[in-house]
Amino acid sequence: MQFHKTPLQDCLLIIPEVFKDHRGVFLESYHKRKFFEATGLEIEFVQDNQSVSKRGVLRGLHFQSGEFAQAKLVQVIHGEVLDVVVDLRPDSPTFKKTYKIILNDQNHNQLYIPQGFAHGFITLSETSVFSYKCDRFYSPGTESGVIYNDPDLAIDWNFPEEELILSEKDTKLPTLKQLF
């Protein structure tokens, strides 16, 4: 596994070693000791989640706040997504900055997203299976988000806006100005 810094403080791109042969593919998607040795972070992931989405589904930008803020380790099992994170930590030098990356079942890359970040993705392939580990349990009363088309973030989702598929909840998320 290779661990690379991203432009956002504490957010890491993880590139696994992938073994391919005539039978298929094998990779180690998580190794607690290697993660600690590379990052110095002793994270206990307590919940694994998966979502299945069709082309154009945009999920996010979500986060949990306070003591229920979640760090996540995200990956795509099938298909391709554009993954987007926003640093919402007021004391961070990358506060309100964004980072986006293509994650898919060909590159097998993962993104470590620290607590205090908003996260979202859009499915670019016909379908996607998105998987992520969380270091805190889901807590409905602390969930929030930032609207996907916040003008201050100006995120290019690499997809025609008129073809986006969003939940009703995600269309009503606040802007950064409303949050801060």
Q: List, by residue number, the catalytic residues.
A: 62, 132
Sign of the CA dihedral with 42 first, then 133, 4, and 63 last: negative
Tokens of residue 58, six digits: 């945009």
CB distance 102 to 82 below 8 Å: yes
In this structure, the number of other CB atoms found within 10 A of the CB of residue 174 comes to 13
For the chain, count helices (H), then strands (E).
3, 13
| 58-54-156-147 Cα dihedral, nearest 10 degrees | -10
Q: What is the DSSP letter of 66?
A: G
Total residue count of the chain as it appears in this document: 180
Using an 8 Å Cβ cutoff, are 14 and 76 in contact?
A: no
